[in-house]
Structure 1
Amino acid sequence: MSTKNSPPGTLSPQLSRRHFLQASSALVALPFFTTPGHAASESVEPVAQEKGTERVVHTCSTFDCGGKCDIRAHVQDGVVTRISTRPDDALDPQMPVMRACVRGRGYRKFVYHPDRLKYPMKRVGKRGEGKFERISWDEATTLIADKLKSITAKYGPASRYMHVGTATSGGTFSGNAMAQRLLNMTGGYLASYHSVSMGNTAAATPYTYGIAASGNSLDTLLDTKLVILWGHNPTETIFGHTNHFFQQMKQNGTRFIIVDPRYSDTVSSLADQWIPLLPTTDNALMDAMMYVIITEKLHDEAFIRRHTLGFDEDSMPAGVPENESLVAYLTGAKDGVRKTPEWAERITHVPAQTIRQLARDYANTKPAALIQGWGPQRHNCGERTARGSTLLATITGNVGIKGGWAAGYGGCANRKFCVGPEMPDNPVKAQISVMNWMQAADDASKVTPQDGLKGAEKLESNIRLLFSLAGNYLTNQNPDLRQAARLLEDESKIEFIVASDLFMTPSAKYADLLLPETSFMERWNIGETWGTGSYLVLSEKLIEPEFERRSDYQWLREVAAKLGIEKEFSQGRDEKAWIEHIWEQTRLAMPDENLPDFATLQKTRQHLFKSEPYIAFEDNIRDPENHPFPTPSGKIEIFSQRLYDMHHPEIPALSHYVPAHEGPEDPLSEKYPLQMITWKGKNRANSTQYANPWLQEVQTQKLWINPQDAEKRGIRQGDEVRIHNDRGVSIVPAEVTPRIIPGVVAMQAGAWWQPDAQGVDRGGCANVLSSARITALAKGNSHQTMLVEVAKA
């Protein structure tokens, strides 16, 4: 069988399913994907090589994935026949671009999947039934234009809402951005804030340091003696080029300790020690570590005296009552409870001696890096956990030094981005947290400044028109999604929903108008990295869309024409022209970076920023008089007066342990005794690529349960189990494994919701069980905090 005659979506003879799965296993075993003995190449590879009629194009995806790994698309006769990746010897060690991971290797099967949406469609059944009829693009864009006019005229522009859509957030140009541009040019819309991924820690970290970005570039850690990864799982999430540096550090002798309730692949590949704890008890472990460090005089006293506020009673701000300092809290001066390792053991289930040794190792190893992942901050105590890690880094003097890490948010301030398309101001000044959208759709009067409303005292209207572009949040990633489904089914609430996607996702079934989007292979973009990555990759249009698929920008441009603003909206640019414009504007904004012109970029394909090693807060520590921290005191604030003045029990001025709602100390645990957590797996980014059959075979959806908990419930390996609480039920097979600790169960995040006739989920979608409770400080998501019971189905 020749490749040329293979129908789209079939396996290429160059890459069978068996070989794909074998490659997947190899990628897990070798997280940073280099071959010993090959020298790094400093030269730029040719863009595309002609091999007969085949082009090999260096590109990247622009899905919600931060690696921007090196994809080599083999294009022949207008078809991508296979995907390879960069050669082993084409690595720039100063800013390594990752070889294609298991997701990257599977993109061709995803793009050519026969179940992709093909035509614009209008709903004909009830919302959620998934019944649609095909219509023309002219009908679709006319309907959108007419609804924009009529709903805006009736309720005002604040009735229009753009929902979270992250599946294109890896690129500088997206339908979401251009839809916002269109809405701003026609009166505005109700905007949202807060990142579901890391918004809680980004909101909490500035109360210690004044700003959120608190991470170094990873090349500053190569000589670090100890790294503590706290709820950080880069081997499975494949987080940019992180694994390259971590593996290099491992070879250099760095010791890795991993704190996580689950024995993840990161534990397997990196850890010298695994310390499991009960979810939501992180602050108790941190408190006990600080108790040991301070009572054994292992803290960096000179650093603390020079740079911090609130360590002890002598360093407290004026006017605060006594016994509010860190030392007073840890020694029980106010509440009579010393925060000893024995105290923490009862809460965390981590042995007291393990806590002592962890504290001593961290304090005595110079330098050391405590790097926190984003999983712990997705609990309703996540803001406290984020700040707790900054206090540990501070009292050990690991802030602002090479080889250390300031903890907290961990984003790197030296990253470079494209400027993006020009965005007119939004005339609607009110903003809601993304966690408020259901309230705003149900009864806008429920959304107050105390609940997260910004820029206004009240909302002018309920949400009446909703765009969900490149997003599966509505009824899949949304916490308590059954509540969301009930709201969406009520057509007296939101009157018109436009969804654009590649597949008939669970969220797409709730659209009134469903549009077939293009994949990254079918449009132009520029890929941008996450984490501490610092490079840009051209994502070229490789193939023409099949059937009647259009990019969001194409149909938005047609809507703009029917609203009479096409000229102003598009500025006469097609998609490629916008990418060229954005690149040239970025060149002007970064004159010192020597970015090539766009014509050259089409040959070089990528630009690596040759940044110097970056250490967060280095200037603040080196010269505090001329570089004070951007906090009210100009110092690192162990005690935050701003938080103290909020008088909120869940937002302590000192970040310390407070029992979490639906945590192990909640009375609800009598009814639902198991804490459930989720993790981001290697085979998909959130729910993107769930429909890829190759990647479903890479990792099947199961519930991890400890043998002790399984035995109590009569559950054996492979049994169908019923996971339930008051919010919902999900049935999946059981994975009985000691890789999850007793009292905790775990399931991979992002599986599609598949309710049966009784409403029971059969897809393993954890969000039928998760809570829509918002966090106290950031007004963010806490969907990792959920109590459940498990029984044999």
Structure 2
Amino acid sequence: MTEEYKDGPFGISRRHFVKASTALAATTFFYNPSARADGTGTPATGDTSPADERVVPTCSTFDCGGKCDIRAHVAGGVVTRITTLADDELDPEMPIMRACVRGRGYRKFVYHPDRLKYPMKRVGKRGEGKFERISWDEATTLIADNLKRITAKYGPASRYVHVGTAVSGGTFSGDSMVRRLLNLTGGYLQYYHSVSMGNTAAATPYTYGVAASGSSLDTLSETPLVILWGHNTTETIFGHSNHYYQKMKQNGTRFIVIDPRYSDTVSSLADQWIPLRPSTDNALMDAMMYVIISENLHDKAFIERYTLGFDEASMPEGVPANESLVAYLMGAKDGIKKTPEWAEPITHVPAQTIRQLARDYATTKPAALIQGWGPQRHNCGERTARGSTILATITGNVGVKGGWAAGYGGDASRKFTTGPEMPDNPVKEKISVMNWVQAADDASKVTPQDGLTGAESLTSNIRILFSHAGNYLANQNPDINQTVRVLEDESKIEFIVASDLFLTPSAKYADLLLPETSFMERWNIGETWGTASYLMLSEKLIDAPFETRTDYDWLREVAAKLGVEPQFSLGRDEKQWIEQIWEATRKSMSDENLPTFEALQVQRHHLFKSKPNIAFEDNIRDPQNHPFATPSGKIEIFSKRLYDMQHPEIPALSHYVPAHEGPEDALAEKYPLQLITWKGKNRANSTQYANPWLQEVQTQKLWINPLDAEKRGIAQGDSVRIHNDRGVSLIPAEVTQRIMPGVVALQAGAWWQPDANGVDHGGCANVLSSSRITALAKGNSHQTMLVEVAKA
């Protein structure tokens, strides 16, 4: 039987879900806030909960903003509805996230009639979407045979496991277990770098010596001023930030939000919105520093005791004159003082606003400048990350309660499980996650200068690729059109295995397409990110539909056909792996009093109620015994390590340098609009795009300012053509003052929908984004792109 998916992403029989759909239709679809975790409480009007219903606290294992508490109501083998914990169930010492709109909509995702239901192999051209049904035995044999053939011919470095964010929010995932299998059979080509925050994580240590520079949010309860710099926490659902920010707002904290877009965070929190041209963050930071220092508002005692490179008297040896921060700001070398008037035409932030912002930040004690991950997804992202750390330093907001050290912002006190036992990988070379297309196309293009580590060259192109719940392959990857040209060439990657719930744009490029289970159909432990710190059991609630199987289940078959099943599984089923991981975590965290696995199945979660964590508190309290982990032992405003690189895009002070495809690039004459993306509240990256309820929450449109729309004859709702030299997308226009002039915006994560001419009709920004990597981290610059928009 051949299935063809040319006209849409789905097309699978609904027969298996009749029972589930009927059960769903018979129940109320609305959250009853009075329903409690034990199923008690005043029933909502029309509530017809079955007598055998059980209510199970659980969580998803997507790479989402946090592990929100969802209460799955299970009856007759079906999840009939989802509620969440009530307000009075929140623990103020470590609140669990209450289910957001994504969490409330999981049933329509899990019970979607168009889920993949059986293994299939490709029968048409790669990317056409033509597959035929095969048995699981045939599928696992294909994988084992291709692993043997390709490894024998090209070596283990030809094997690659791609990013899989729809499974990486749990401790036990298909992508981690395929890595375990590959390590047992020779190894694989690894990647480093995080697409989410890799640039800022790489840059922050050049100031502080370590990446994690964030405190726990309970330290901000009495902070009078918070500056959210490109941090759209209300829509990204970033950990449990919203819980604390709303409490702070109610207690009188003033919020300033810097963002080109009037986001929901601006709407819900901001006392002031400052729109800023993308990629000009450092110009604004430079001008703020100029005001702070020239008006004598900097913290002299803090700077003198803890820092290196502020002025000429505090510079490291071997550096010529006029390289310090003060010298740069006062124009000692270039004759240009970095005044607000200098920054205004670059940033489009009025000079008087820059002065007010600088004064507010410097004179409010303490103040927290918290940077999101959007600004560092530009090709100047490392400079922006370090610039924020310098601002925090000169105002004395590092290592103090209520302050914030800026930079990466991750909380080092967060706790994680040990994860599954992982054998050593015999393959030592690594590539940046941004190098994989080059490594598949021509491995000789990937050099140490381009991001290769552990070797001077690669021994092979990528020849076999595994994508587990990963739509990065041909949707979230930058410059999709370039990427799919490599994927379509079967002389490059010879075998692609995709395991997923749906036929995503990436899954269409599989040679073997496998139907995965949802989080409701397997065992796992949810791990938080952001600044939350708790672990939650994600229990198997329902049987897997159709012929879907967990990745671990079919990987055991592959391991058997490779002759390593006993070493791979260690005789454990999926639940036994979860139990082993939990018990190993208990031993490693003996001081945290984790419950036994048996008790966890009753308790459901464990909250780490640690004392408030202030980043770098010990370094500031006792610098003699707790120096910073930098070469100098101090906060390095000027980084001699960066200076010695002598790279124009990596200045030792992380000051403003015009970005490639920024507003000062000559290309702006042809493509005058800067396109940015944002992470919306209705999906995590591209996960849940197929959920019909969440498609209603927010429709895919191009935000464009009325001034830019009028110049182009564009009216509200018109179909517009967004284009540059890399691609074209057609999408309706949202004419709104919520985006600043000169900038347009698309929600990230829309599924790519090309027509016969390659024109995208889904509003997928990555047909327009650049594959240029950043200079220091070798990271992504998805956000830096110039476009033009015309009425279609």
* CA shift for structure 1 position 14: 3.4
Matches of 2:40 and 2:489, distance apart in 1: 52
Could you say what secondary structure the match of 2:194 adopts? coil
Match of 2:132 in 1: 133
Matches for 1:623-634 after TM superposition, within 5 Å: 623-634=622-633
Contact 2:50 2:75 in 1 (8 A): no
Alignment equivalent of 1:8, drawn from 17, 21, 25: 21
Could you say what secondary structure the match of 2:746 adopts? strand
* CA shift for structure 1 position 5: 7.7
Give per-residue Cα distances to partners, 1:308-351, cap 9 Å, x unaligned. Answer: 00000000001100000000000000111000000000100000
Match of 1:364 in 2: 363
Matches for 1:356-395 after TM superposition, within 5 Å: 356-395=355-394
Contact 2:54 2:73 in 1 (8 A): yes
Give per-residue Cα distances to partners, 1:86-112, cap 9 Å, x unaligned. Answer: 122111011111211000000000000
* CA shift for structure 1 position 677: 0.1
Matches for 1:509-524 after TM superposition, within 5 Å: 509-524=508-523
Give per-residue Cα distances to partners, 1:9-50, cap 9 Å, x unaligned. Answer: 88534344xx58xx9xxxxxxxxxx99xx9xx9xxx669999
Could you say what secondary structure the match of 1:89 adopts? helix
* CA shift for structure 1 position 66: 2.8
Match of 1:28 in 2: none
Matches of 1:531 and 1:370, distance apart in 2: 16
Q: Name the amino acid aligned to 2:675.
A: M
Could you say what secondary structure the match of 2:789 adopts? strand
Match of 1:714 in 2: 713
Match of 1:31 in 2: none
Match of 1:29 in 2: none
Matches of 1:478 and 1:163, distance apart in 2: 11
Match of 1:261 in 2: 260
Give per-residue Cα distances to partners, 1:440-459, cap 9 Å, x unaligned. Answer: 01110110000000000100
Match of 2:44 in 1: none
Distance 1:5 1:481, change over 3 A: closer
Match of 1:548 in 2: 547
Matches of 1:473 and 1:158, distance apart in 2: 21
Matches for 1:536-575 after TM superposition, within 5 Å: 536-575=535-574
Q: Name the amino acid aligned to 1:163.
A: H
Matches of 1:712 and 1:11, distance apart in 2: 49
Matches of 2:390 and 2:545, distance apart in 1: 54
* CA shift for structure 1 position 6: 5.6
Give per-residue Cα distances to partners, 1:523-576, cap 9 Å, x unaligned. Answer: 000001011111010000000101100111111111001111100100000000
Distance 1:760 1:183, change over 3 A: same
Give per-residue Cα distances to partners, 1:281-304, cap 9 Å, x unaligned. Answer: 000000000000000000000000
Distance 1:702 1:471, change over 3 A: same
Contact 1:47 1:605 in 2 (8 A): no
Matches of 2:91 and 2:26, distance apart in 1: 32
Structure 1 regions of 5+ residues with no counterpart?
Answer: 24-33
Contact 2:56 2:72 in 1 (8 A): yes
Match of 1:330 in 2: 329
Matches of 1:341 and 1:621, distance apart in 2: 31
Match status 1:596 vs 2:595: yes
Match of 1:26 in 2: none
Match of 1:399 in 2: 398
Match of 1:205 in 2: 204
Could you say what secondary structure the match of 2:303 adopts? helix
Matches for 1:747-758 after TM superposition, within 5 Å: 747-758=746-757
Match status 1:437 vs 2:450: no
Matches of 1:512 and 1:6, distance apart in 2: 32
Give per-residue Cα distances to partners, 1:701-750, cap 9 Å, x unaligned. Answer: 00000000000000000000000000000000000000000000000000
Matches of 1:15 and 1:743, distance apart in 2: 46
Contact 1:47 1:603 in 2 (8 A): no
Q: Name the amino acid aligned to 2:251.
A: N
Contact 1:662 1:786 in 2 (8 A): yes
Q: Name the amino acid aligned to 2:258.
A: V
Contact 1:536 1:607 in 2 (8 A): yes
Match of 1:774 in 2: 773
Matches for 1:605-624 after TM superposition, within 5 Å: 605-624=604-623
Contact 2:23 2:78 in 1 (8 A): no
Match of 2:166 in 1: 167
Q: Name the amino acid aligned to 2:146.
A: K
Give per-residue Cα distances to partners, 1:243-294, cap 9 Å, x unaligned. Answer: 0000000011000000000000000000000000100000000000000000
Could you say what secondary structure the match of 1:611 adopts? coil
Contact 1:46 1:603 in 2 (8 A): no
Matches of 1:9 and 1:776, distance apart in 2: 55
Match of 2:651 in 1: 652
Matches for 1:206-285 after TM superposition, within 5 Å: 206-285=205-284
Q: Name the amino acid aligned to 1:129.
A: E
Contact 2:24 2:80 in 1 (8 A): no
Match of 1:427 in 2: 426
Contact 1:216 1:405 in 2 (8 A): yes
Could you say what secondary structure the match of 1:392 adopts? helix
Q: Name the amino acid aligned to 1:724.
A: H
Distance 1:46 1:600, change over 3 A: farther
Contact 1:66 1:528 in 2 (8 A): no
Matches of 1:649 and 1:12, distance apart in 2: 61
Could you say what secondary structure the match of 2:88 adopts? coil
Match of 1:74 in 2: 73
Q: Name the amino acid aligned to 1:722.
A: R
Match status 1:146 vs 2:159: no
Contact 1:48 1:56 in 2 (8 A): no
Could you say what secondary structure the match of 1:149 adopts? helix
Matches of 2:19 and 2:426, distance apart in 1: 52
Contact 1:228 1:369 in 2 (8 A): yes
Query: Aligned residue pairs: how many?
Result: 769
Give per-residue Cα distances to partners, 1:95-135, cap 9 Å, x unaligned. Answer: 11121100000000000001100000000000000100000
Matches of 1:46 and 1:631, distance apart in 2: 51
Matches of 1:748 and 1:529, distance apart in 2: 24
Distance 1:5 1:480, change over 3 A: closer
Could you say what secondary structure the match of 1:645 adopts? helix
* CA shift for structure 1 position 51: 6.7
Q: Name the amino acid aligned to 1:514.
A: L
Matches of 2:672 and 2:618, distance apart in 1: 48
* CA shift for structure 1 position 52: 2.1
Contact 2:386 2:654 in 1 (8 A): yes
Matches of 1:541 and 1:424, distance apart in 2: 27
Match of 2:734 in 1: 735
Q: Name the amino acid aligned to 1:454.
A: T
Match of 2:532 in 1: 533
Matches for 1:628-707 after TM superposition, within 5 Å: 628-707=627-706
Give per-residue Cα distances to partners, 1:439-493, cap 9 Å, x unaligned. Answer: 1011101100000000001000011001111100111000001100110000000
* CA shift for structure 1 position 610: 1.2
* CA shift for structure 1 position 7: 4.2
Contact 1:441 1:462 in 2 (8 A): yes
Could you say what secondary structure the match of 1:128 adopts? coil
Matches of 1:272 and 1:13, distance apart in 2: 45
Contact 2:38 2:55 in 1 (8 A): no
Contact 2:703 2:745 in 1 (8 A): yes
Matches of 1:7 and 1:772, distance apart in 2: 43
Identity %: 82
Q: Name the amino acid aligned to 1:433.
A: S
Matches of 2:51 and 2:196, distance apart in 1: 45
Q: Name the amino acid aligned to 2:474.
A: T
Match status 1:416 vs 2:415: yes
Contact 1:8 1:113 in 2 (8 A): no
Contact 1:165 1:176 in 2 (8 A): yes
Contact 1:48 1:57 in 2 (8 A): no
* CA shift for structure 1 position 166: 1.1
Q: Name the amino acid aligned to 1:528.
A: E
Contact 2:39 2:54 in 1 (8 A): no
